[in-house]
Amino acid sequence: MTKRFFVCLTLVSISLAISGCPKKPTFPFYPDRDAIVDMITEDTADVFNTQIIDLAVPDTTSLSTAYWREIDRVGRRIVVSFFYEGTPHEIPLAEVAVLDSMFGYFHLVIEDTSYTPPARVRVKKPLKELATIRAKFEKWGEDKDPRKGWILTDISGVEIHSEVSSRQLSSVTLQASSVGELSMTASQIRSARSINEVLELSFGESVNLNATCGDSADIVFMHYDGSEYLTKRKMYPIGEKTFRGSFSTPQSAGYYHVTVDIISLSTVTSQDTTVYDSKRWGILYKVD
């Protein structure tokens, strides 16, 4: 009886000791790629937004020529390349390309002079465009941290071009009281830079934007976030291949894009449905 009592007591003690030991926490499997994709699509969706133009249909009854885009389908592909510690970076990092393929139509209402008298006709041109944003993420935390410790460190603007495009942007100059005068090339817009170097503007600030393109006959628009919706404004020529527009920044804090939208003259004058030549650059800025 005494021996059985001691055996039972020993088993109870072992059981209590085991139950009292802290367990190593476990976490559900969450791949690094999924953490970065979730940051892109959920945490910083405004930074990675490619739908940055006004798609409103103009009043065609009062215009001899009118044109607008219709985008009815967007497919997103996110390419992530990892470089882990010691390869030869000091900390793990990921280079990312966000690629959005857009499909729809470019609508054109134009006067056809082959008729007598001239008649207005509507042309529907198939549209296929590719938008690209580049970014870099670095891992400064642990797997237990939100998004496994990954943070966004570098981000580019947006470059969007039609399937066939020869439009060019030499430079863009922004003038605002908070930054003075700031110029950048198309290459600088599409290259990733530190998130801390993103252009920062004030609430409701007036901004002038000059764009120098490759052809003085180009049609140039500017798209920006208005008080409620995206707004499109035609830029007017001020010199050889240079166009100007102005806008005011939103009254709420956040990340936004102002977009230079260049369309070839032949796109808006030709009834050939295969002629669609367009390219646009979205400049990322922060209102704070």
Q: What is the pLDDT of residue 88?
A: 61
Least confident of 84-88, 97-101, 186-190: 84-88
Average pLDDT over every residue of 117-142: 94
Average pLDDT over every residue of 111-115: 84
Does the pLDDT value for residue 9 go beyond 80?
no
Instruction: Report whether the peptide linkage leading into residue 146 is cis, meaning its omega lies within 30 degrees of zero.
Output: no
Strand partners, 160: 131, 280
Average pLDDT value for the chain? 90
22 secondary structure, DSSP code: P
Q: What is the pLDDT of residue 207?
A: 98
pLDDT in tens, 223-237: 999 877 899 999 999
The conformational region for residue 241 under phi > 0 = left, psi -120 to 50 = alpha, else beta, is left
Please identify which residue in the block is written with the tokens 């237990």: 144
> How many Cα neighbours within 13 Å face the side chain of 225?
23
**Residue 62 confidence class, pLDDT cut points 50, 70, 90:** confident
pLDDT in tens, 178-197: 999 999 999 999 999 999 99
Q: What is the pLDDT of residue 26?
A: 58
Does the pLDDT value for residue 5 go beyond 50?
no
Q: What is the pLDDT of residue 65?
A: 87
pLDDT in tens, 247-266: 999 999 999 999 999 999 99
SS3 184: strand
Average pLDDT over every residue of 143-161: 96
Q: What is the pLDDT of residue 86?
A: 65
Does the pLDDT value for residue 208 go beyond 50?
yes
Does the pLDDT value for residue 135 go beyond 80?
yes
Q: Other CB atoms closer than 10 Å to residue 157's CB: what's the count?
A: 27
Instruction: Report whether the peptide linkage leading into residue 88 is cis, meaning its omega lies within 30 degrees of zero.
Output: yes
**Is pTM, for the whole model, over 0.75?**
yes
Q: What is the pLDDT of residue 180?
A: 96
Does the pLDDT value for residue 24 go beyond 70?
no
Does the pLDDT value for residue 1 go beyond 80?
no
Q: What is the pLDDT of residue 222?
A: 97
Does the pLDDT value for residue 17 go beyond 60?
no
The secondary element (H helix, E strand) that includes residue 14 is: helix 2-20
Torsion of CA 39, 41, 47, 49, to 10 degrees: 170
The secondary element (H helix, E strand) that includes residue 35 is: helix 32-38
Cα separation, 112 vs 183, in Å, equals: 41
